[in-house]
Chains A and B, each alone.
Chain A
Amino acid sequence: MEELIEKLKVQIIKQLNLEDVEPDEIDPNEMLFDENGELGLDSIDALELIVLLDKEYGIKIKNQEEGKQIFHSLTTMAEFILQHQN
C-alpha cells in the first residue's frame, strides 16, 4: 500500500505536469480537489486521473461522479486500485 502510494505520487506529478511539486510534499490523506489545498486540482485534472487509471492500472471509470469519490485522496485512490486491479 505504501509502495503504491509512492508510485502514484510520481505518476500523478508526471501525468498532471505538476512541475514544482516533490513527491514528499503530497500528504496521502489530503483532499486532492480542495481549492484551498496544496494541489488544488480541477475537473480537467480529474479527467487526466481517469486516463491514468486506465493506462497504468487497466481500470476504466465510466463517469465523473464515480471519479469524485475515488479521487478524494491518494489513500482512497490506492485503496480503489488494490480492490479493482486485475
Chain B
Amino acid sequence: MAKRIFITGIGVISAIGKNTTEALENIQSLSSGVADIQHLKTVHKGKIPLCEVKYSNKELYQLAGVDPSTPLTRTALLGMLAAKEAWQQAGSPELGDGKTGVFSGNTVGGMDKTEHFYAEFMADATAGDVRTMLTHECAHSTECIANYLGATGMVSTISTACSSSANTIMLGARMIKQGLLDRAIVGGVDALAKFTVNGFNVLQILDEQYCQPFDQNRRGLNLGEGAGFVVLESEDTVDEANILAELVGYANSNDAYHQTASSPDGTGAYLAMKGALDVAGIAADAVDYVNVHGTGTNNNDLSEGIAMQRIFGNNIPKFSSTKAFTGHTLGAAGGVEAVLSVLALKHQIIYPNLRFETPIADFETPLVPETALLENQDLTYILSNSFGFGGNTSSLVFKAYK
C-alpha cells in the first residue's frame, strides 16, 4: 500500500517574517532574525540575543483575526498562523469529514502564560486567572490550531524536544500510507518563554553573540521561536495542480547516550539519516543538499559532522544551517526547516550558512557549508535533519516535483 505523499501547502512564521514570502525575502537579502531581546520579559534582556517573532501577542491576535479577549497563548497564536497559511495554500479544503489529521510538535506548551500565572499564584492564591492552567499542556495549542481550521479528525501532539515536528511530519505520512487519513496538517510550533531561556542558559549552550553553526569557533545556539506547517496529501486524493514537492523519506532513532548531548560518534544522527535515505530508496550520493540541524553548539555540529562523514564519505553534498537566520526554534525546527526545504526545491535555491568563517578543525577533510545564496540549482533530493535532546533524532527526505 505504498502511497506517495505530496506536499500541497506550506506555512511559516519566524524571526524572519510572518509568512513564506517574507521568509524568502529576508533570506535573499541575507537578513538574519537574530537581535536584542524586544518582547520577552527576562533577566537576560541585553545580555543574550534571541530570534523572536517580531510581533507582540496583541499583533498576533490581529494577524489571526481573533478577538483578543479569547485566552490564547503565544504558542497557539503562532501555530494557528502558520497552519492557516499552509492550509490556504492547499486550497483551504474542508476539514470536517474526519479524514484530515492535525499533528503538532511542541515543547513549551502554554508556559509563556503559565510561568507568569504560577509566580503570581504562589505569592497570592487569589491572584491571576486559574483557568490559565488549562493552556499549560502542549496539546492545548494543537487543539487551538485544529479548531481554528475546523478540523474534526484526529488531533495529536508530539513532544520530543528538537525533533518534535519532524516526527509529526513522519506520523502524518505514515497514517496516510496506512489509509487511515487522506490528508495531514503537520509541523510544529514553539514560543519563547523564560523557562526555555533560563533552562538553556543553565546548560551553558547559549551564544551571547550571533551564532556560527559549523564554525570552529562556535559558541552555542541562539534560541528562536515560530511555527512551520505543511499539508501532506495522499496520491489517491491529491489535486496534482497543488503539488509543491514530495515527501519520500523519513526516519527516527535514538542513540540513548545522554539527556542533553548527542553521542560523540554521531550514532543518533547517522541512524536517522541512513533510515530516511533507506525509506526514500536512494543512495547517499543522490542527495543534492542537506539542511543540517546545525545549532552552533560544540556538541551538535561535531556529532552531526561525524555522522555526515559516515554517510557521505568524502562526497559531502552542499549543506548549510538555516538556524543562523531563524535561530533554534526547538519543537518548531523540523516544521520550519521542512517548509524551507520545500521552498528550496520550488525555487531551486540553496541557503547560505551565515557567519561561517573557519571549518571545524576535528575534520581532516574540512566540512565547509555554503556561504552564499545559490540560485538556478538542479536539486532533486533534499535531506533535512532535526536532532533533539534525549538522543531523539529524525531526518526527512524531500523530492522535487516536476
Chain A: residues with CB nearer than 8 A to chain B?
A: 43-44, 47, 50-51, 62-64
Contacts and interface: CB of A to CB of B under 8 A. Distances in A.
Contacts of B204: 47, 62-64
Interface string B305-328: 000000000000000000000000
Contacts of A50: 202
Nearest to B202: A47
A20 to B, nearest CB: 22
A51 B258 contact: no
The dominant DSSP class at the A interface is helix
* A-B complex: 10 closest residue pairs judged by Cβ atoms: A47-B202, A44-B259, A51-B202, A63-B204, A64-B204, A47-B203, A50-B202, A43-B258, A44-B260, A62-B204
A43 B202 CA distance: 12
A72 B357 CA distance: 37
Nearest to A48: B202
A51 B260 CA distance: 17
Contacts of B203: 47
Interface string B175-203: 00000000000000000000000000011
A22 B103 CA distance: 47
A47 B203 CA distance: 7
A64 B258 CA distance: 15
A37 to B, nearest CB: 19
A63 B260 CA distance: 15
A84 to B, nearest CB: 18
A21 B179 CA distance: 54
A71 to B, nearest CB: 14
A44 B259 CA distance: 8
A42 to B, nearest CB: 8
A19 B203 CA distance: 24
11 contacts: A43-B258, A44-B259, A44-B260, A47-B202, A47-B203, A47-B204, A50-B202, A51-B202, A62-B204, A63-B204, A64-B204
Contacts of B259: 44
A59 B139 CA distance: 39
Contacts of B202: 47, 50-51
Q: Quick one: which of A43, A50, A63 has the most chain B CB within 10 A?
A: A43
A69 to B, nearest CB: 16
Contacts of A63: 204
Interface string B253-282: 000001110000000000000000000000
Interface string B229-262: 0000000000000000000000000000011100
A46 B332 CA distance: 29
Given A44-B260, A50-B202, A63-B204, 8 more contacts: A43-B258, A44-B259, A47-B202, A47-B203, A47-B204, A51-B202, A62-B204, A64-B204
A63 B201 CA distance: 11
A62 B203 CA distance: 11
A44 B204 CA distance: 12
Contacts of A64: 204
A5 B229 CA distance: 53
Contacts of A44: 259-260
A64 B261 CA distance: 13
A64 B297 CA distance: 14
A78 B28 CA distance: 55
A42 B174 CA distance: 37
A64 to B, nearest CB: 6
